[in-house]
Amino acid sequence: MQCNSSQSSAVTVKTVPCVPQIVDTLMNCDDGYLSVSWESSEGAISYIATAEGSNVQQCSANETMCDIPDLNCGETYTITVRAHDDSCDTAESPSVSMKTVSCIPQNLDVHLDCDTNDASVSWTHTKGAVSYSATTAGSDGHTVSCDTANRQCQITNLHCGQMYNLTLTALDGVCDTSQSSIIEFRTAPCAPQYIDTNLNCVSKSMTVTWERSDGALWYITTAEGQDGHQTLCNTTETSCEFLDLHCSQTYLITVKAMDGYCQSVNTSSFETESVPCPPQNVQADIDAVTAFVTWELSNLTVSYTATAEGSDGHTATCTTSETHCLIPDLHCSQIYSISVLAFGENCSSIQSSSSDIRTAPCAPGEIIVNLDCNSNRVVVLWERTNGAISYDVTAEGSNGHTHSHNTTESRYEMLDLHCGQTYNITVTTLSYSRNGISSTSVQTQTAPCIPENLKAELNCDSNAVSFSWDDTDGAKLYTVTAQDSQRVTALFNTSDTMAQIPHLQCGEYYTISVLATDNICKSPQSAVVNVHAVPCTPKHLEADVDCLNNSMLLSWAHSDTAISYMAFVNASDKDLLHFNTTNTSCYIQHLKCATKYNISVYAFDGFCTSMLNTSYEVGTVPCVPEDIQATLSPASNGVQDIEISWKSSHCAEDYEVGIEGQIEKDPFSLYTLQSYWTPRTFFQFPVPCSSTYNISVTARNAAGISSPSIPLAGITVPCSPNNLNASQENGTLFISWAGSIYATEYIVYAVSNSERSEICRTPALSCEAANVHKDMIEIVALNSAGESETSKINFLQARRKRDSPTEPFPTTVV
């Protein structure tokens, strides 16, 4: 209790190895063993893996994996692992469950449905299988499978005539490798293809051929007709021949392939026709040289050929799809044997029984027709025919009219044929049976009919008459006749039913008629129509213009057939005057100045006006010149130039400029400078200063002279001042002068060294100015027309003289 002993010697103790962890398994599907793996356990020297199921199997290893063999198929095993050292084993690891490969399927069986070529596959339950997959592989490489969880399945869409290998695989979700042994089975043979028939038209037999079918050992061929007849043949070959088929039947040919267990799934069928039966109850009726043949319907016949064989060796046929036909163009006076053949798609029938007929007597020979153009009487002549008892004579007109008569003579006269018609005349021989043959028709043309409904219309614009008539039966040409009052005849031919006669003589009266011709006969003349030509154009048109009164008198010569006249006066400014009168003149007032008038006069007869005459043109005097203006130039030497201008007057050829006024020297008397003619619209002339002027302008052309324009009044510039006087006193300059007529103001300038300065501006006749030191004094007069010429005083000379005490102050005017 008080002391501890010293420590004993040490002993080493090893604990049990750790339990293995993370056990994993893997099934080797190819070799059938189970591989187990785990994590390494601390302290372990070796391991033992145990699989417990329907049996117990183990494997040991020093590593962390080992393989467990000989496990039963289709079992679920529990897998555990223990670790081992020299002394102890560990407890078992956590277990892992593992399913082994399913067992191989057994008792596999297959059953084929011959009708559908579908295979029903069955087997017994396979241990460990979750589902199954049945697979078939055909000899042609075709593969079909079905998957199911049941113990049977249906394999569809198999190819015909093939050997199939069938295997069943059990699917377990582990390996899916358990496969049954192979079972072989054969599908039903394929249906024969490319069936064809060959009909022997001579022996009436039929051969059926086809291609060889996969899987077939022999074939059964059946022929079944619409009438119920049935026959068959068996063969290992690919053809069969039928010798006893009924005629005119559609046969259903069926070929089946056989293999000892099944027949072909899809029966191959083919429809074909047998040889037609010969037509029955053949009958024939004769119409002159045409045989109408009938017979009973032969089934499955495409066409029939009826043959007529004559006693003279002539043969004729007709072909049709009906049960009757006409055989034309038989020889007259012959006995024919009639028979019929029926034709199918490939063959004809045997010959039918025959029927005999006799054709009509032959037709008359040449026919002669004579026509009387005046009466349209036709006489028909022909030669007699042996065997004929009478003749039918027929005339058929192009308008549908028919004339027919039976006679025993060889001549016949027709009196009621229509005019303008083409008649086909035939003569038919008749026997006791009334069968006859018509002769070749002879054509004749009756005389043309009289043209009717003749109408005429005058074209007033062209003085041409257009006329028309109804188309006349039988006419090839028409002859038109026109006569005027002088009995002059216009005659021409036309193929139309209308015509025109141009360029009629004005004022004439025409009578027009038409007849028809066919190059052999002529019709009588038609009813006539009467036509008046347009009236003649008035002649000798004259116009007398009164310029003073702006009026005009028109006159012309009388026109035959005219009942009134129309005068048209067309002004150049587009105004139009129109006058109607029964006289041969008219008076026109209120004409416009400077206007050209185009005058036309027409005659009117109640229906038409005359053709356009050559128009007559007159003009009026020019209008009064307007917009008169004057331009004044500066005065020179007491004269001032005035340029007058005005607006051009339409139609004027030249102008007269007149000027009058008063002059300074005698303001109470008039003067006339001069009158001037000029083709221009301006004129320049000189006028004295300090004058008034009054200017007017008139225009002239071939028609006369216009009235004067409104006068232009004015004045010229004043004349330069004269009688100038100048004096100076006490430095103030005094200047005076005589007045200029028409001056309204005066300006006084002082001039020194060519420089001018204004001293005073005044309407008076004097002025004064202080301190003027210039060389010269200048004075001008002014009015509304401008400045006058300058008057001058030499100022220096005047001043010097003024400084001399013995001389008075002089005035020097320059």
* Residue 88 pLDDT exceeds 50: yes
- The reported pLDDT for the residue numbered 668 is 53
> Under a CB-based contact definition with an 8 Å cutoff, are residues 721 and 731 in contact?
no
* Residue 799 pLDDT exceeds 70: no
> Under a CB-based contact definition with an 8 Å cutoff, are residues 135 and 142 in contact?
no
**Which residues, 6 or more positions from 261, have their beta carbon under 8 angstroms from its beta carbon?**
112, 114, 186, 188
CA 337/CA 9 separation, integer angstroms: 155
Q: What is the pLDDT of residues 597-638, one digit of tens each?
A: 888 888 888 888 887 666 777 777 788 888 899 888 888 888
Choice among 22-36, 89-103, 351-365, 757-771 with the minimum mean pLDDT: 351-365
- Model confidence at 809, pLDDT cuts 50, 70, 90, reads very low
Per the structure block, which two tokens stand in for 464? 């041409």
Q: What is the pLDDT of residues 110-165, one digit of tens each?
A: 999 888 889 999 999 888 888 999 999 998 899 999 999 899 999 998 999 999 99
Per the structure block, which two tokens stand in for 537? 């154009």
**Which residues, 6 or more positions from 280, have their beta carbon under 8 angstroms from its beta carbon?**
295, 296, 298, 352, 353
- The reported pLDDT for the residue numbered 669 is 54
Per the structure block, which two tokens stand in for 372? 């009387």
Q: What is the pLDDT of residues 651-675, one digit of tens each?
A: 788 888 888 877 655 555 555 556 7
* Residue 95 pLDDT exceeds 80: yes
**Is residue 13 exposed (0-12), middle (13-18) or buried (19+ Cβ within 10 Å)?**
exposed
Q: Which residue has the higher pLDDT, 375 or 795?
A: 375
> Under a CB-based contact definition with an 8 Å cutoff, are residues 36 and 63 in contact?
no
Per the structure block, which two tokens stand in for 250? 């559609």
Average pLDDT, stretch 28-56? 89
* Residue 527 pLDDT exceeds 70: yes
- The reported pLDDT for the residue numbered 804 is 42
Degrees (nearest 5) of the Cα angle 331, 336, 342?
A: 115
On whether the pTM is more than 0.85, the answer is: no
Q: What is the pLDDT of residues 407-436, one digit of tens each?
A: 988 899 998 899 989 999 999 888 776 677
Average pLDDT, stretch 23-35? 86
* Residue 589 pLDDT exceeds 50: yes
DSSP state of 408: S
- Give the full edge-to-edge strand order of the sheet including 196-199: 196-199, 206-209, 239-242
Element (H, E) at 795: helix 795-803
> Under a CB-based contact definition with an 8 Å cutoff, are residues 30 and 177 in contact?
yes
Choice among 289-293, 545-549, 690-694 with the minimum mean pLDDT: 545-549
> Under a CB-based contact definition with an 8 Å cutoff, are residues 664 and 741 in contact?
yes
CA 148/CA 151 separation, integer angstroms: 8
Alpha helices by DSSP H, listed for 76-183, are: none
Phi then psi for 416, rounded to 5 degrees?
Answer: -115, 25
Cα dist. 328→224, 315, 317 in Å? 42, 11, 8
Element (H, E) at 148: strand 143-148
CA 784/CA 377 separation, integer angstroms: 117
Average pLDDT, stretch 207-219? 90
Q: What is the pLDDT of residues 295-348, one digit of tens each?
A: 988 888 888 999 999 988 999 999 998 999 999 988 887 888 999 888 887 787
- The reported pLDDT for the residue numbered 487 is 78
* Residue 774 pLDDT exceeds 80: no
Q: Which residue has the higher pLDDT, 670 or 249?
A: 249
Per the structure block, which two tokens stand in for 243? 């010798």
**What is the overall mean pLDDT for the chain?**
85
Q: Which of 181, 168, 131, 177 is nearest to 32 (CA)?
A: 177
- Model confidence at 801, pLDDT cuts 50, 70, 90, reads very low
**Is residue 630 exposed (0-12), middle (13-18) or buried (19+ Cβ within 10 Å)?**
middle
CA 677/CA 77 separation, integer angstroms: 154
Per the structure block, which two tokens stand in for 52? 């417990």
Give 292's strand partners. 285, 326
- The reported pLDDT for the residue numbered 803 is 45
CA 725/CA 798 separation, integer angstroms: 10
CA 632/CA 687 separation, integer angstroms: 10
CA 295/CA 353 separation, integer angstroms: 10
How crowded is residue 406: how many other Cβ atoms within 10 Å of its Cβ?
Answer: 12
Q: Can you state the percent helix, strand and coil of the chain, rounding each to 5? A: 0, 50, 50
Average pLDDT, stretch 219-230? 91
CA 532/CA 604 separation, integer angstroms: 12
- Model confidence at 174, pLDDT cuts 50, 70, 90, reads confident
Tokens 């692992």 map to which residue?
A: 81
* Residue 181 pLDDT exceeds 60: yes
CA 321/CA 323 separation, integer angstroms: 7
260: left (phi over 0), alpha (psi -120 to 50) or beta: left
- The reported pLDDT for the residue numbered 727 is 83
Per the structure block, which two tokens stand in for 121? 């596959």
